[in-house]
Structure 1
Amino acid sequence: MSPPRRHTGKRAMPGGGPGQPSLLPFYGEVKSRIVARAEEIRNILATLEAGRHLIIEGPPGTTKSTILRTITEVCRIPFYLVEGNVDLTPSKLVGHFNPAKVMADDYKGEYFEKGPLTRAMEGGILYIDEFNRMPPDTANVLITAVEEGEIHIPRYGAVKAHPLFRVICAQNPFDDVGTMRISRAIYDRLCRIRLDYQSEEEEREIVRRKTGCPDETLVKIAVRVVQETRVHKEIKQGASVRGAMDMVAIALRLREMGERDAEGILTAAMLSAMSGKVWLLETTARSAEGILREILAGVLRQPDMKWDPDGEGSKEDERGGGAQGPRGASGEPAGPPEPPKGEEQSEGRPEGWDDLDYDPANGPAELKRLARSSPEKVIEYFRSNRAAAREILQSTDVLELYGHIRDMLDPELEEIAKRYATRLIIRLASQIANIGVKTGSLYRSTTEAAWDEIDVDATLERILDRPASRLDENLVFLARRPEQKACVVMLDHSYSMKGIKISMAALTAAAIALHFKQDYGVVAFSTGARILKGLNQYKLPALIAEEILSLEPTGYTNIHDALHLGIGQMKGYEKKIGILLTDGDWTAGEDPLQVARRFDRLHVIGLEEPLQVEATYDEVALRYCDSRMDIFRPGGGLEENLRRYHGSRVELLAREGRGHFTYVHRIEEVPLAITRCLTA
Structure 2
Amino acid sequence: MEEIKKIQQSFGVIGRERELERALAVVKAGRHLLIEGPVGVGKTVIALAISHYLQKQVYRVDGDERYTEQKLTGWFDPPVVMRLGYVREAFIPGPLTLAMQNGGALFINELNRMPESVQNVLLPAMDEFRIEIPKIGKITAAKGFVIIATQNPREFIATSPISEALRDRFELVTLGYQPEAEEVEIVKLHTGVDEDFARLVVRIVRATREHPDIRRGASIRAAISVCLLALQLGGDAEAVRKACHLALPTRVELKEEARNQLDEVIDGIVDSVLKRTAGFERPAVSAEVKKKDLMGAPNLVIVDALKLPAEDGDFGWLLAQKYPSIKGRLEEREREAIRKIAIEAILRRALSSLGPTKRSAKLRRESYRPGADEIDLEATWERIVGKPDYQAEDIIVETRERKKLACSLMVDTSLSMAGEKLAVAAVGASMLAIELREDNYSVVTFNSQARVVKEMGQRKDLRSVVADLLGTDAFGYTNMEEGLRAGLRQLERAPSGERLGIMITDGKCSEGFHPERVAAGYPKLCVIMVESPHSDAGTCSLLAELGRGKVYRVKEYSQIPGAIQKLLKEFA
What TM-score does the superposition give when structure 1 sets the normalisation length? 0.58
Contact 1:602 1:658 in 2 (8 A): no
User: How far does residue 446 in structure 1 lie from its aligned partner after superposition?
Assistant: 2.7
Query: Distance in 2 between the 1:208 and 1:653 partners?
Result: 51
Query: Distance in 2 between the 1:601 and 1:296 partners?
Result: 55
Amino acid at match of 1:553: F
Structure 2 residue 375 is matched with structure 1 residue 458: yes
Could you tell me which of 403, 427, 451 is aligned with 1:482? Answer: 403
Contact 1:78 1:125 in 2 (8 A): yes
Q: CA-to-partner distance for each residue in 1:312-338, whole Å, 9 max, x for gaps?
A: xxxxxxxx359xxxxxxxxxxxxxxxx
What is the aligned-residue RMSD (CA, Å)?
5.3
Contact 2:130 2:140 in 1 (8 A): yes
User: How far does residue 281 in structure 1 lie from its aligned partner after superposition?
Assistant: 3.0
1:520-539 correspondence to structure 2 within 5 Å: 520=442, 522-525=444-447, 532=451
Q: 1:139 to 1:485 in 2, by over 3 A?
A: farther
Q: CA-to-partner distance for each residue in 1:283-318, whole Å, 9 max, x for gaps?
A: 32323322222122111111xx24xxxxxxxxxxxx
Q: 1:157 to 1:537 in 2, by over 3 A?
A: closer
Partner of 1:179: helix, strand, or coil?
A: coil
User: How far does residue 52 in structure 1 lie from its aligned partner after superposition?
Assistant: 1.0
User: How far does residue 132 in structure 1 lie from its aligned partner after superposition?
Assistant: 1.1
Amino acid at match of 1:446: R
Task: Name the residue aligned to 1:207.
Answer: 187
Query: Distance in 2 between the 1:363 and 1:195 partners?
Result: 29
Query: Distance in 2 between the 1:154 and 1:506 partners?
Result: 42
Task: Name the residue aligned to 2:493.
Answer: none
Task: Name the residue aligned to 1:157.
Answer: 137
Task: Name the residue aligned to 2:67.
Answer: 88
Q: 1:466 to 1:40 in 2, by over 3 A?
A: same
Contact 1:210 1:245 in 2 (8 A): yes
Q: Which one is further off, 439-448 or 134-143?
A: 439-448
Task: Name the residue aligned to 1:237.
Answer: 216
Task: Name the residue aligned to 1:445.
Answer: 364
Give the structure with higher Rg (CA).
Answer: 1
Task: Name the residue aligned to 2:37.
Answer: 58
Task: Name the residue aligned to 2:253.
Answer: 279
Could you tell me which of 89, 96, 99 is aligned with 1:110? Answer: 89
Query: Distance in 1 between the 2:505 and 2:412 partners?
Result: 10
Q: 1:400 to 1:233 in 2, by over 3 A?
A: farther
Contact 1:404 1:499 in 2 (8 A): no
Query: Distance in 2 between the 1:297 and 1:603 partners?
Result: 56
Partner of 2:148: helix, strand, or coil?
A: strand
Contact 2:63 2:112 in 1 (8 A): yes
Query: Distance in 2 between the 1:144 and 1:462 partners?
Result: 32
Structure 2 residue 202 is matched with structure 1 residue 223: yes
Task: Name the residue aligned to 2:166.
Answer: 186
Could you tell me which of 639, 651, 656 is aligned with 2:558? Answer: 651
Query: Distance in 2 between the 1:461 and 1:481 partners?
Result: 24
Gaps of 5+ in 1: 1-23, 257-261, 307-319, 323-360, 374-398, 407-423, 605-647, 661-675
Query: Distance in 1 between the 2:53 and 2:459 partners?
Result: 58
Task: Name the residue aligned to 2:488.
Answer: none
Q: 1:211 to 1:540 in 2, by over 3 A?
A: closer
Task: Name the residue aligned to 1:300.
Answer: 274
Partner of 2:224: helix, strand, or coil?
A: helix
Structure 2 residue 229 is matched with structure 1 residue 250: yes
Identity across matched positions, percent:
25
Q: CA-to-partner distance for each residue in 1:401-420, whole Å, 9 max, x for gaps?
A: 996399xxxxxxxxxxxxxx
Task: Name the residue aligned to 1:169.
Answer: 149
Contact 1:372 1:404 in 2 (8 A): no
Amino acid at match of 1:142: L
User: How far does residue 271 in structure 1 lie from its aligned partner after superposition?
Assistant: 1.7
Contact 1:55 1:190 in 2 (8 A): yes
User: How far does residue 230 in structure 1 lie from its aligned partner after superposition?
Assistant: 1.6
Query: Distance in 2 between the 1:50 and 1:252 partners?
Result: 45
Query: Distance in 2 between the 1:511 and 1:285 partners?
Result: 28
Query: Distance in 2 between the 1:241 and 1:249 partners?
Result: 13
Task: Name the residue aligned to 1:391.
Answer: none
Amino acid at match of 2:98: R
User: How far does residue 553 in structure 1 lie from its aligned partner after superposition?
Assistant: 2.8
Q: CA-to-partner distance for each residue in 1:126-170, whole Å, 9 max, x for gaps?
A: 111111111111111111111111112122222111121111111
Amino acid at match of 1:164: G
Amino acid at match of 2:7: V
Aligned residue pair count: 480
Contact 2:209 2:217 in 1 (8 A): yes
Query: Distance in 2 between the 1:204 and 1:579 partners?
Result: 56
Partner of 1:163: helix, strand, or coil?
A: coil
Q: 1:175 to 1:485 in 2, by over 3 A?
A: same
Q: CA-to-partner distance for each residue in 1:232-260, whole Å, 9 max, x for gaps?
A: 2232221111111111111111117xxxx
User: How far does residue 476 in structure 1 lie from its aligned partner after superposition?
Assistant: 2.1
Task: Name the residue aligned to 1:561.
Answer: 507
Q: Which one is further off, 163-172 or 649-658?
A: 649-658
Could you tell me which of 261, 267, 271 is aligned with 2:241? Answer: 267
Task: Name the residue aligned to 1:31.
Answer: 8
Contact 1:559 1:588 in 2 (8 A): no
Structure 2 residue 110 is matched with structure 1 residue 137: no
Q: 1:194 to 1:509 in 2, by over 3 A?
A: closer
Task: Name the residue aligned to 2:262.
Answer: 288
Contact 1:510 1:541 in 2 (8 A): no
Task: Name the residue aligned to 1:589.
Answer: 535
Contact 1:149 1:160 in 2 (8 A): yes
Q: 1:365 to 1:158 in 2, by over 3 A?
A: same
Structure 2 residue 328 is matched with structure 1 residue 404: yes
Amino acid at match of 1:161: A
Task: Name the residue aligned to 2:307.
Answer: none
Query: Distance in 2 between the 1:465 and 1:166 partners?
Result: 44
Q: 1:174 to 1:86 in 2, by over 3 A?
A: closer
Query: Distance in 2 between the 1:601 and 1:219 partners?
Result: 60
User: How far does residue 28 in structure 1 lie from its aligned partner after superposition?
Assistant: 3.8
Q: CA-to-partner distance for each residue in 1:567-609, whole Å, 9 max, x for gaps?
A: 9689654x959699xxxx95743579x97xx9999899xxxxx
Partner of 2:402: helix, strand, or coil?
A: strand
Q: 1:650 to 1:246 in 2, by over 3 A?
A: same
Gaps of 5+ in 2: 282-291, 305-322, 331-339, 480-503
Q: CA-to-partner distance for each residue in 1:40-74, whole Å, 9 max, x for gaps?
A: 11111111111111211001111111112222333
Query: Distance in 1 between the 2:428 and 2:506 partners?
Result: 23
1:305-384 correspondence to structure 2 within 5 Å: 305-306=277-278, 320=279, 365=296
Partner of 2:39: helix, strand, or coil?
A: coil
Amino acid at match of 2:219: S
Query: Distance in 2 between the 1:112 and 1:404 partners?
Result: 67
Contact 1:601 1:657 in 2 (8 A): no
Query: Distance in 2 between the 1:600 and 1:78 partners?
Result: 51
Task: Name the residue aligned to 1:19.
Answer: none
User: How far does residue 38 in structure 1 lie from its aligned partner after superposition?
Assistant: 1.2
Query: Distance in 1 between the 2:233 and 2:456 partners?
Result: 56
Query: Distance in 2 between the 1:541 and 1:210 partners?
Result: 40
User: How far does residue 370 in structure 1 lie from its aligned partner after superposition?
Assistant: 8.5
Query: Distance in 1 between the 2:437 and 2:199 partners?
Result: 42
User: How far does residue 541 in structure 1 lie from its aligned partner after superposition?
Assistant: 7.5
User: How far does residue 469 in structure 1 lie from its aligned partner after superposition?
Assistant: 5.7
Contact 1:440 1:483 in 2 (8 A): no
Amino acid at match of 2:328: H
